[in-house]
Structure 1
């Protein structure tokens, strides 16, 4: 970008041209790598109604819990402007708000967790999952909480292992522990893990299911999601694709499972609630409890 072009864009941006301000933010962010100027023009673009700028600003403010109140404000603005990913971002921000810890709280919880306090470890696992998006720290504190007997952590650990598609025996063990310790959803999870440990399909069976699923058969799509997840271990790619297809086709268990997956992702609580509510309306006996669990996570009362 020439100096003349920069000057022209600045003139337009200062006069209220949101697109010009957004272009300047990109220029300073990607070309000049000047964070201060990038934020300045991104904010100008957001204030003038640029949906992508609002989304990007919300994403930046939410990173590491920098300013979650303002992040939620801009994500809401972007959602109202029709940004397709703003709903997911807003859910992630709300989850982060519910899990937020002050530095002194983090230190106190880390000390307690290190001394064997499972509930403290569980709170830290939520903090690192929803606020910092730090998978390694989330796993560390979640496992410590699970080993300390926290039923919610045991359930979350079982779901994480289950969705990885590689450690079903460990997933079943933690689901059984969570059930023993009173987690209301763990029994269902354990039954599903046990049932799906034998999810193999022959090439001929897979081809037939693909044909049916592509034609709109939700049951076929659901079986394919399990096959790719547990046999091919590509659950985050093709397995997720077929799970979404099955849920959209009205398969109730797929809707429930998709809600669980989105909940565990930590950034999709609004969508998780939508699918849990859909599963409930379709008669899933456990969906009401799942919906309450997700609502509690959003409000921070879990």
Structure 2
């Protein structure tokens, strides 16, 4: 007997239907250690907001060398508290710790602020960290046409 490509899925469905499907229990994974723990229902203009305790925890983790936590603090300060000056310090910390997208963001900020030396420095760091578009940005900054 030859099984056609259409008959195989139908045969599998028939077997599954006859044996019954068991429910596989869902067990959510715990949040990663630097994952943000948002307060339930706390948001500002539709943006989830960290509690003060969580913000302090993220700052502590960042000061201990966690680049993702530094970026979390930057994003919170910039998007929720609209504190660009303080947020930039955390973006620089994240970049110094090796966060590739933070480095690329600083390169973009350098371009926007007409600071080509800073833009090139951060673009080169982003390229070294493996950021996907950083090599193209470095080329365009090194060879402006």
TM-score w.r.t. length of structure 2: 0.64
2:106 is the alignment partner of 1:157: yes
**What is the distance in 2 between the residues matched to 1:112 and 1:178?**
22
The unaligned stretches of length 5 or more in structure 1 are 1-64, 70-96, 200-302
Cα displacement string for residues 244-274 of structure 1 (whole angstroms, at most 9, x for unaligned residues)? xxxxxxxxxxxxxxxxxxxxxxxxxxxxxxx
Stretches of 4+ aligned residues off by more than 6 angstroms: none
Within the alignment, does 1:180 sit opposite 2:128 as a pair? Answer: yes
Q: What is the alpha-carbon distance in structure 1 between the residues aligned to residue 125 and residue 97 of structure 2?
A: 11
Conserved in 1, the CA contact under 8 Å of 2:65 and 2:97?
yes
**1:143-178 superposed Cα distances (whole Å, 9 cap, x missing partner):** 01111111111111111111100x211211111111
Aligned to 2:45: 68
Query: Which structure has more strand as a fraction of its residues?
Result: 2
Q: 1:136 aligns with which of 75, 85, 101?
A: 85
Distance 2:63 2:77 in 1: 16
In the other structure, the counterpart of 1:290 is none
Instruction: Check whether the contact 2:44–2:80 (CA below 8 A) recurs between aligned residues.
Output: no
Please give the alpha-carbon distance, in whole angstroms, between the structure 2 residues aligned to 1:117 and 1:101.
17
- Contact kept, 8 Å, 2:67 with 2:93, in 1: the verdict is yes
Q: How does 1:225-264 map onto structure 2 within 5 Å?
A: none
Q: CA deviation at 1:115?
A: 1.6
Deviation at 1:132, TM superposition (A): 1.7
Structure 2 counterparts to residues 109-148 of structure 1, below 5 A: 109-148=58-97
- Say yes or no: does 1:191 pair with 2:142: no
- Name the CA distance, whole Å, in 2 between partners of 1:139 and 1:67: 20
What is the root-mean-square deviation of aligned Cα atoms in Å? Answer: 1.9
- Higher Cα Rg, which structure: 2
Superposed CA offset, 1:188-233 (max 9, x none): 222222233xx7xxxxxxxxxxxxxxxxxxxxxxxxxxxxxxxxxx
Structure 1 length-normalised TM: 0.32
CA contact (8 A) 1:162 1:193 kept: no
Q: Deviations over 1:259-295 (max 9, x none)?
A: xxxxxxxxxxxxxxxxxxxxxxxxxxxxxxxxxxxxx
Q: Which whole-Å CA distance do the structure 1 matches of 2:51 and 2:132 have between them?
A: 31
Aligned mates of 1:158, 1:119 — CA distance in 2: 18
Instruction: Tell me how far apart the structure 2 counterparts of residues 131 and 195 of structure 1 sit (CA, whole Å).
Output: 38
8 Å contact kept, 1:110–1:120: yes
- 2-structure distance, mates of 1:104, 1:171: 34
